[in-house]
Structure 1
Amino acid sequence: MSADDASGEPAGYVFPDHLPIEPIAPGSTVLVAGPALSRSEDLATSLVTAGSDTDPREGMLFVSTNMTCEKLLTACERLEPGFAADRTGVIDCSGQDLDEYRSDPQVKAVSTQSDLTGIGMKFSALYESLYGAMEGGRVRTGLISLSSLSMYVDMRSLFRFAQTLSGRIDSAGGLGIFAIDPTTHEQKTVNTFSQVADGRIEVREPDADVPADADGEVRVRGLPNQPNGWQPFSLDE
């Protein structure tokens, strides 16, 4: 798939058919909001790993705040059978020993989730590396998750951090996917984080009348040319 559409403008970031989300414009950051049981974090991860399948010139970068690099990459491989680990960077904020990944230049460790400065520096370095390596500089970023980081830093600092990442993604024409569990925050806090995003993908568990193989339902807010209302989705191709 070309990185440009027929008009010569950069093409949107696309997703496989089993995810009912239309292409999202380059430079966008999207908040994926759903409770833990809704599999919202798996969906957020899938929106990033879709870069493996849709365009061989797209890179993927994860800021993993609640999983080790090893567990995250295993999840990526489970969700996307064709997952391209060689085009993926990971910032591991778990504070655990990286072992086999210690010498991998595409994996960076931060000793604690409270070190937003360290996370930001490693993010910039990895993003620049992936941006330079990908034709057209197309990179999908997954921050998994804001809710996990909020347990270690104050909201004002976390908002500024999210705003900085979103700005970097915007200026580079990337795609940002920031996961959040709204059940762990006041509505005011969720609305505040929504200010750093161009739109929101809300996730819930499937209703009784949706197909039995659905993993949940999504509703897209604030993004153009998206389906209306709640749509069932599956995390399996």
Structure 2
Amino acid sequence: MIETGISELDKQLGGGIKKGSNIMMIGPPMSRKEVILNHIMYHGAAKNKNAVITVNTYETGAGILEWFRENKLILPLSRIGIVDCITRMIGVEADDDDNIKIANHPVDLTGIGIRISQFLEEYSMRKNVRKIQLCVNSLSALLLYSNIRIVYKFLHVYTRRIKAAGGLGIYVLESGIHDMQSIATLNHLFDGVMEIKSENGKNFIRVIGLSPKPTLWLEYEIDGAKVMIT
């Protein structure tokens, strides 16, 4: 099992998420789901000693690392890989380094895939790190620039690789902006859904599809980088 680091959620899941699982994280804007994703990333890398690869379409690679530093979360950089889809899109020149590989644009799925594969090869072949987490934030941006058929084919490759490696994949989708057919199509790739909702100014999270019954809705609050179940 792979722990998320949200103890109440892990307990309801029987100790965490089954290895080899691919999960859609879906929720509305302003629900701070990117902090939940970062929390799971940090727990995976720092506590579970996994290698974590994140594809980010909203924040530069440098910005992501700075967020962790500002929140005093010390990442094991030898096991952190960021595919940066923003820096060149906004007209900033940057070169790859050990932790950040630069893609041209969120529409460049071929380039993004090459960089994911480079990190996967580095961790599994050169560093002998077998436990891999892949985070994509977000599928909504990829769908904005590409059609559902192309995004599905892209994800099919990496969800299969995560499953074969016994890793964990988490793929973020904004709720309320995609048609139900597109969501249903993508659902075929995933083992479960981490569902987030906002009601009356409060945020709730649950997981469905990974156990016989959905977990309970758990109310959460965000304090800096902390995800607190209330």
State the number of aligned residues: 217
Q: Once structures 1 and 2 are overlaid, which stretch shifts more, 81-90 or 152-161?
A: 81-90
Any conservation in 2 of the 1:35–1:183 contact (CA below 8 Å)?
A: yes
Unaligned runs of 5+ in 2: none
TM-score, normalised to structure 2, is 0.84
* Residue pairs, 1:87-102, within 5 angstroms: 87-94=79-86, 95=88, 96=90, 97=92, 99=94, 102=95
Per the alignment, residue 211 of structure 2 pairs with 224
Taking the aligned partners of 2:130 and 2:137, their CA distance within structure 1 comes to 22
- Identity within the alignment, %: 24
Taking the aligned partners of 2:169 and 2:76, their CA distance within structure 1 comes to 18
Residue 6 of structure 2 corresponds to residue 14 of structure 1: no
Per the alignment, residue 9 of structure 1 pairs with none
Per the alignment, residue 85 of structure 1 pairs with 77
SS in 2 for 1:205: strand
Per the alignment, residue 140 of structure 1 pairs with 133
Q: Deviations over 1:28-65 (max 9, x none)?
A: 11000001111122222322221133223x11110111
Per the alignment, residue 18 of structure 2 pairs with 25
Per the alignment, residue 5 of structure 1 pairs with none
Any conservation in 2 of the 1:32–1:201 contact (CA below 8 Å)?
A: yes
Structure 1 segments of 4 or more deviating over 6 A? none
Q: Which has the higher strand share?
A: 2
Distance 1:81 1:229, change over 3 A: same
Which residue identity lines up with residue 2 of structure 2 in the other structure? Y
SS in 2 for 1:20: helix
Distance 1:19 1:164, change over 3 A: farther
Q: Deviations over 1:100-153 (max 9, x none)?
A: xx3513321111111111111111111121234565500111100000111111
* Residue pairs, 1:1-237, within 5 angstroms: 12-17=1-6, 20-21=9-10, 22=13, 23-56=16-49, 58-77=50-69, 81-94=73-86, 95=88, 96=90, 97=92, 99=94, 102-132=95-125, 137-205=130-198, 207=200, 216-224=203-211, 228-235=215-222, 236=226
Distance 1:205 1:19, change over 3 A: farther
Distance 1:83 1:19, change over 3 A: farther
Taking the aligned partners of 1:147 and 1:19, their CA distance within structure 2 comes to 28
Which residue identity lines up with residue 211 of structure 2 in the other structure? P
Taking the aligned partners of 1:170 and 1:98, their CA distance within structure 2 comes to 35
Q: Once structures 1 and 2 are overlaid, which stretch shifts more, 38-47 or 142-151?
A: 38-47
